[in-house]
Amino acid sequence: MEYVKVTFPAKCRVFIDGEENGYTNEVLRIDAGTHVFVLSEANCRPVSQKVMIENTTPLEPLEVAFFQDNAR
């Protein structure tokens, strides 16, 4: 089991490989491997991220950062 923390300024739903998996700014559990991350928030950048997850712990999750898109 691996761990990620998807960061974003606001709380919104996190979709991993098309399935809802929790909320931003929380530590989420996931299987090792390459996964696609998307947020429910429309004003974020990037729109999605494909990330390889391995060698994480609950205390040291991999951070996947999204940012608010102020250009919209």
Q: Examine the pLDDT at 9 and tell me if it is beyond 90.
A: yes
Contact 24, 9 (CB under 8 A): no
Domain ranges in the chain? 2-68
Residue 56: count of CB within 10 angstroms of its CB: 19
Nearest to 6 by CA among 70, 71, 72, 63: 63
Q: Examine the pLDDT at 47 and tell me if it is beyond 80.
A: yes
Does the pTM of the predicted model rise above 0.85? yes
Give the SS3 label for residue 54. Answer: coil
CATH, domain range 2-68: 2.60.40.1120
For the chain, what is the mean pLDDT?
94
